[in-house]
Amino acid sequence: MTTRHDDSSGGGTNGRKAAIAVVVVAFLASATTAMLAFTASHSAREADAQKFAADTADLRGVLSEWQAQVDAVVHTVAADRPAALDALVRRGEALASWKPRTPCGQEARDNLRKAMEVRVLLLREVGSRREPDEAGVLATTLRECEANRGRDVTI
């Protein structure tokens, strides 16, 4: 009579080891992917923050120049006023060609430009008492952008 050796227990052990190895490899791959995604996300947020800061600085510089030009127009004599207003219009049009680095910068640029256009229209109206607040428009837009940054991203 021949004795049969039952090798089924050895095959089961190898199968469990293979399954555990597959699970460990999958876990390591998943953890590595998560770390890479976090690092990329963090880098993107830092780059966006730097670009947003640059957009903000540029727009505040434009606003400062604009306010100085508006003050000059307000203090010009009536005969020179149309030419001074035309210079303001050109300044607003120049802002349209400025390339923002972020979507928030684009929104802030567009809102500032609209406020500038309103200012020119009101300066053309003699005796207009209403004063648009370009600085307020810019500050509000930038504040809203800062508060909502990253909320448009879905993972």
String of DSSP letters for 30-89: HHHHHHHHHHHHHHHHHHHHHHHHHHHHHHHHHHHHHHHHHHHHHTS-TTTHHHHHHHHH
Q: What's the whole-model pTM score? A: 0.69
Give per-residue pLDDT as tens, 142-154: 999 888 876 554 4
* Residues comprising the chain, all counted: 155
143: enclosing H helix or E strand:
helix 134-148
Give per-residue pLDDT as tens, 115-142: 999 988 888 886 556 677 899 999 999 9
DSSP 149: T
Task: Give the separation between CA 52 and CA 56, rounded to whole angstroms.
Answer: 6
Find all residues with CB under 8 Å of 95, minimum gap 6, and list them.
62, 109, 112, 113, 116
137: enclosing H helix or E strand:
helix 134-148
pLDDT for 155:
46
